Amino acid sequence: MIDPFDFSPWDFWSRADDEARRRQLDTQRALAARPGWVFGTDCFVSELASVDNEELELGDRTYIAAGAYLTGSLRTGRDCSMNAYTVIRGTVQIGDAVRIGAHTSIIGFNHTMTTMEVEFFRQPLESRGIRIGNDVWIGSHVVILDGITVGDHAVLAAGAVVTKDVPTGAIVGGNPAKLIRSRLAPAVPVDNARDALGMRVAAFADTARAQALTVLDRSFDARSGLFVDRPGAAPTVRAQCDAVEIADLLLGSAPPQLPVGEQVDRLRGWQDPGTGAVAALTSDPAPAGSTGFDDPDAAYHVLCVGYSLQLLGSGFAVPLTLATTVSAAETIAALDDLPWHTNAWSAGHRVDAIGTAQHLSRLRGDSIPTGATDALFGWLLTHADPRTGMWGSAAPEDGLLQLVNGFYRASRGTFAQFGLPLPYPERVIDTVLQHARDDRFFAPASQNACNVLDIAHPLWLTRATGYRSDEVRALARRLLEDALGFWTDAAGFGFRAPDHDTLGLPETIPGLQGTEMWLAIVWYLADLVGVSESLGYRPRGVHRPEAATP
């Protein structure tokens, strides 16, 4: 006969007999002998549940009912309940007083799908983790996807499929889940796709999509058949890639100015056959010839050409020796030699290229020297400053600029791209928020795409911590409102924000680089605020939010 407490354990400790209590305590003592397993007082774990976690911490009076299936790393606060047949897998953190209905799935990982040449189940997993706040009611048959943060006092209606963060006090439902109403007082607004900012974001996206072809035509040089950053500029490798990314974001296709095959052949044909590097274009225009990766342009072309070829359904033609010939010892030596304390951006730029070369080489099926990837991550983990969460140091002349910008580049190509957790995420948030107070870089007239992206991405990458979340959202909202005003009709974004004192400067003239970067920035800021759904696009290239591990 099935014990009813297995399915309804809430009053077990007040109603169960002494023998049942002893058996439950024996069960918990046996489980707690496993490394990383900790139980609070008056917990209950049904013998009919499948609990196979690597780490498990249950707060006081937390219950796991029959049929529950738990794996990965789970930490809960007090007074939590996992009803019958709940599934919780991956990395999940749950606050106090969270009640989870039957047949709910909370999945803190996902399958990658970077190639159609390998079956889904053979491709690696990625995990960003799930964070659920305090006093949350999760109904039956709810699905919560990886990377989601659910705020305190939220309600997830039965059957909801939660695909984006849920604000504090929000009641959401549906597939995908949308805001039904807020439990907060009317005087405290909740950011969502139907508020004024959401409507402004949607209007911006409609304008950008309607003008996308005009923006691309403006930068297409019909004589050479190449894109330029802006009218009058010379063709560059990056301009071809920026055009691909902009078309993918706003048109959902390749740039229509040229056949796809011609664009693929050109990008692949620019690789040096010996090293795999793509050099800057000469005046011909053609690549500069045989080259390696020491040139900053060639290092960035690993990213922009590699991802553009992916968006066009292709990949590099020849191996990238930056990844295929550099041993673990050589990787460490190269990282040691980078100018972390004098030019952290340059150091991060190099790390981004190394990490991306390793990722793209795996996609190609190329062999990488044993231990090279472990050496890359091992060096970064052991050299991260526990005070800032970053690599390098601040400089008197530009404050935290080099430190933060270098961190973005280094973390983008490694921890973000490979879907791995940062060593000190809360310290990263502290450092970024301190940097964002520097008006030399973040007053509306002083902003440029590089500096804003370099704080938007780290804040998005660390959002699951919930640390200083109100300040993060307030900053994201301010920067988003600024960015929406930088668009120039029929031309796009300049790299630098336009202002009456800076109009006419080359960096304020709209071009493909500024447009590609600001479109990605708008997405990240909108997602931090909770209105990215209104954009109708999501970056898939260099600035993609998902991990890209093959």
Residue 227 lies in a domain: no
- Closest to 236 in 3D by CA, of 155, 297, 181, 171: 297
pLDDT at 115: 72
Residue 387 has what pLDDT?
96
The pLDDT assigned to 191 comes to: 45
- Which of these is catalytic: 111, 141, 301, 349? 111
Alpha carbon 159 to its chain centroid, in Å, reads 26
Q: Tell me the backbone φ, ψ of residue 208, rounded to 5 degrees.
A: -60, -45
CB 364 within 8 A of CB 346: no
pLDDT given for residue 193 in this prediction: 40
At a CB cut-off of 8 Å and minimum separation 6, what does 49 contact? 64, 65, 66, 67, 68, 69, 70
From 357, 169, 183, 340, select the one nearest 278 (Cα to Cα): 357
Is residue 78 a part of any domain in this protein?
yes
SS3 call for 153: coil
Number of separate domains in the chain: 1
pLDDT at 194: 41
Tell me whether residue 19 is exposed, middle or buried, using C-beta atoms within 10 angstroms of its C-beta: 0 to 12, 13 to 18, 19 or more: exposed
CA dist 543 → 246, 326, 408, 522, 548 (Å): 12, 26, 11, 11, 11
And the tokens for 398? 């530009």
Q: Which CATH number characterizes residue 114's domain? A: 2.160.10.10
Predicted pLDDT at 453: 98
Domain span holding position 60: 4-182
In a domain, 11, yes or no: yes
How wide is the angle at C-alpha 176 spanned by C-alphas 168 and 109, nearest 5°? 80
Beta bridge mates, 390: none
Kindly state whether residue 146 falls inside one of the protein's structural domains.
Answer: yes
Alpha-carbon dihedral 191, 194, 200, 203, rounded to 10 degrees: 140
Q: Which residues of the chain have pLDDT under 50?
A: 187-194
Helices 449-461 and 469-484 pack at an angle, to 10 degrees, of: 150
In a domain, 137, yes or no: yes
Q: Tell me the one-letter amino acid at 419.
A: G
Contact present, 456 and 528 (Cβ < 8 Å):
yes
Judge whether 90 lies within some domain.
yes
**CA 354 to the chain's CA centroid:** 19
Residues linked to residue 170 through DSSP beta bridges, in sequence order = 182
In a domain, 451, yes or no: no
Answer for the pair 482, 497: CB distance below 8 angstroms, yes or no.
Answer: yes
Show Cβ contacts of residue 123 under 8 Å, excluding neighbours closer than 6 positions.
111, 112, 113, 114, 115, 550
d(CA 545, CA 540): 8
With CA atoms as reference, report the closest residue to 458 among 408, 402, 390: 408
Rounded Cα distance, 537 and 534, in Å: 8
Compute the distance between CA of residue 144 and CA of residue 25 in angstroms, rounded to an integer.
Answer: 31
User: Is 111 part of the annotated catalytic residue set?
Assistant: yes
**Cβ distance 138 to 102 under 8 Å?**
no
**Quick one: DSSP state of residue 96?**
S
Residue 101 lies in a domain: yes
